[in-house]
Amino acid sequence: MPQLRWNDTDFLNFFAVEPTVEDYGVSHNYEVERDGIRLLFTLWQLESVIQASMFRGKSDNVLFTFAAYVRGEARFIHDVRGRYIDFEDCIIAPSRFWYIQAGNPFDQQRFPISVTIRLACDPDVRISFADYECRT
């Protein structure tokens, strides 16, 4: 799997919290809470995989979780629309290890349709699909 193209300083500025980093920088875990919604965002840079899990407050019951294989890059953007991170050319999956059953998500012939995921944290946590692309 390719390594994620991202800037850890941009992520630090965006989330405004120090990440919990797994040994050898395998994963970076960011946790933010806004208006009673808690986001746990994990990035596996060596696998080019991200995962977002949303919770209500301090509850351990997850509202929703998804993973994404990022075939493009992660770009921090600060413009008139606000501050957000775009993850380009993503394949959405239920978990980080979904590829074991589904095949290589970085194979654009096998998975020609992808989306751009947009993540914002201020003033509220928002996750949206900003764009999609079909390579046929």
DSSP assignment, residue 61? S
Is residue 73 pLDDT above 90, yes or no? Answer: yes
Question: What pLDDT does 105 receive?
Answer: 96
Please give the C-alpha separations between residue 29 and each of 1, 17, 21, 111, in angstroms, as whole numbers.
20, 10, 6, 27
Find the mean pLDDT for residues 81-102. Answer: 95
Q: Which residue has the tokens 């809470």?
A: 33
Q: Give pLDDT, residue 1.
A: 75
Mean pLDDT calculated for residue range 79-94: 95
Q: What is the mean pLDDT of residues 109-134?
A: 92
Q: What is the pTM of this model?
A: 0.93
CB 19, CB 81: distance < 8 Å: no
In terms of phi and psi (left: phi > 0; alpha: psi -120 to 50; beta: otherwise), the region of 130 is: alpha
pLDDT tens column, 25-62: 899 999 999 999 999 999 999 999 999 999 999 999 99
d(CA 60, CA 7): 30
What pLDDT, on the 0 to 100 scale, is given for residue 130? 84
Output the pLDDT for position 78.
93
Pull the structure tokens for residue 117. Answer: 């995921």
More confident residue, 106 or 136: 106
Q: How far apart are the first and last CA of the chain?
A: 22
